[in-house]
Structure 1
């Protein structure tokens, strides 16, 4: 009997975004920072957008290819203009407030939807003409498990993420004929300052000590009992920009540790 010849699985080539321009919002920290560094490492020129000038300077220091741009994305005209000429757009910027609906400030609700739904729409609107013109583009919307599931006390955030999911799918349908893909990445709780800052509010809303928030609230529905790291999310974003993901569009890449498996 002739022994079977071992088959070596092909190795995917490293992501090469040389000559491409990427824009990442919320780039001064957390997921956005990790995405900016990952795309720059792949050769892209990265427009790192945030309203945190100090954080952007720290990001750009010693990171060739990253261009810091201080911008408040609630200035919607400026957001749209900033996206002109981009090949890769990562809509990541977001804020969070944990309150019951009857106590949720209407002005904050409005701001959350402006930043997390209207601004991505305007950024996409600004980016699409260039993408369509070259018949190639990658739009990655950093959504959340809360784009697929709801949690109490997060009315604005859950509403915004569900809206972002719908926007992403619509853009996928319109962009398909033009070589443009649009997808969401859906992590559960990520080890970021955004998550750390909500622990006190979660404790108050749920009536438990702060030290119990991680196990009893944040990781309660996750099969994997840990926070996901920003670099793990950035790797998913990078994959959606790769040739191997060119057939993926209009979908949600779920990184929730088994939360939605229930």
Structure 2
């Protein structure tokens, strides 16, 4: 599993989420699907490595204020499609509002994430971005890269939906989701995350609580999938009714990604 992680310098959690067996008897192709954290701190070496991946589409799942705070760096000469959304443009965001009001306990962070995942599939900005991403999967000539700030929640849900759509097993899509806990380098990021939360909240969280905030848990993803199933019956109905992934688009995506 860890061979799919690309060890870049300033872009965390960068990895290929292809390579899994599908129910059709094929394999989700490698080198077509990438996911990561934001690219605002990408080094020149990172950009050179990314330029070699043949990326045709970048989907930036962040809020507008996040993009302003950490503008993305792109490889020199990059002329691919960039998909972004300005829906819900606010100066603040729910995460930092929560941090300021929270007791910063492990349970508080866990409950925040459970609530977040319950609502994430229906957030208008996510619906907009996810729908355009799936259209791009059926049309783009080249690899597609999705990312948010940490590359774990918004990105993790979208990768899981992609895996489901292409016939990857529930076991494998969960395993790919949990790979974030290996790829994000807790020890490297912990001091910066503690500092950021301390400055935002005016008090210091425990490292155990920050580890919850930084990581992922199977229960989070299952919460999102259960919310989708409760609202629409199953994931396929959600993909079609909410994200516009009809049978023709499914077939185009499968033809492009499954070999």
TM-score per shorter chain, which class? Answer: 0.3 to 0.5
Q: Point out the structure with max Rg over C-alpha.
A: 1
Report which of the two has the higher share of helix.
2
Superposition TM-score, scaled by structure 2 size: 0.34
Structure with greater strand percent: 1
Q: TM-score, normalised by structure 1?
A: 0.34
Between the two structures, name the one with larger relative contact order (CA 8 Å, sep ≥ 6): 2
